[in-house]
Amino acid sequence: MTAWLLDTGPLVAYLDADDPAHHLVSQAIDRFTGQLVTTSAVITEAMHFVGESSQGPGCLVDFLEISGTRIADCCKPGDLKSAVKLMRKYGDTPMDFADATLILLGDSLKQNHICTLDRRGFSTYRTSTGKRFKLVLDEA
């Protein structure tokens, strides 16, 4: 089964019809038949952004449930150390914690397809084996 790593930007854009990327993201996600996977760090970040609307957090939870999005926890000490190492490596890009956890998740799943609006970051970042990330919204 094909999997897409799901970043914060598309998750928020999917839920916010006023977001400039809403149409592009909605079309891509609605057509996708594989497994969406993300991290608890991405969910935390998305909760912050959708929390500006009183219905936002509930809509986010509903989307995650209906879509069957798999959420990985990346907060064990070893994961945190690996994330910090990546954030230092890509400090000039820069890379935030949520992005670092997505790279770690992609490595663990051997997956490099990512649904992101962060073209600059994920065009620069590489998997642990040096592979580029495939930006699925660029193919939509």
Cα angle for residues 38, 40, 44 (degrees, 5° grid): 110
Domains and CATH numbers, the chain: 3-138 (3.40.50.1010)
Residue 140 has pLDDT above 80, yes or no: no
Q: In a 3-state reduction of DSSP, which class is residue 6?
A: strand
Tens-place pLDDT, residues 48-106:
999 988 999 999 999 999 999 999 998 899 999 999 999 999 999 999 999 999 999 99
CA atoms of 108 and 118, how far apart (whole Å): 21
pTM of the predicted protein model: 0.95
